[in-house]
Amino acid sequence: MTARLVCLPFGGAGASFFRPWSALAGDRLEVVPVQLPGRERQIDLDPYTDVHEAVDGLLPGLLAELGPDPRVVLFGHSLGAVLAYEFAHRLLAVPGVELLRLVVSGSPAPGVRRELTATGLADDDEFLARVKQIAGYTHEALDDPEMRELILPTLRADVEMHESYVPSTEEPLAAPVTAVRGADDALVSADEAAGWAKVTGRDFELVEVPGGHMYLTDSAPVLLDLIDSTVH
């Protein structure tokens, strides 16, 4: 039975970011992108500003999509990493779900607050400059004034959701964890990524791949090979 790779997006991103991964994964993994409200086809819905509310709201739809007795790998980058972590705890409590591994990317361990924050910056230009400074990346759509007006509320909500996050539990996760970081990531150090070892009662692995904080925009094939190797 093919493992389902459930993908949680980074701040400001939507499910479409992961759609090209299906072709790259082939028949090795079935890619299941999770769509958060406030973007793409759900642009008219209010975005979440709280990780736990997001997981509560999204879990029923995800379970329906996964179907009976799924074999699951969870993947998330940055904001997506903490969403994936909370989903992992919830999925482990669902009968029939086999959580093969949690793969977290570009993120310190849950509960570690970054010193630089953007929540509360009222001026849009200042907010976007801070987000770019934090993420080391900006979406080209933000250069278009109309698209910017459309995207900003969701990006602000995502940033608030990430920066206000407090883990739901300190119980060790009953699933193995792989933490991935770009070798040149100036935002998340190797030591910070290694901090994920403390959240699991099972195997832990830290893997560095070429690139910076947003390595996955260019290195999806390498990442998918890595994820596939953890489940086969």
The residues annotated with a catalytic role in the active site are 78, 213
Please list, residue by residue across 156-186, b when 16 or more beta carbons sit within 10 angstroms of its beta carbon and e when fewer do: bbbbbbbbebebeeeeebebbbbbbbbeebe
- Cα-Cα-Cα-Cα torsion 10, 11, 12, 17, nearest 10 degrees, comes to 0
Rg (CA), the chain: 17
Say how many CA atoms lie within 13 Å of 192 toward its Cβ: 19
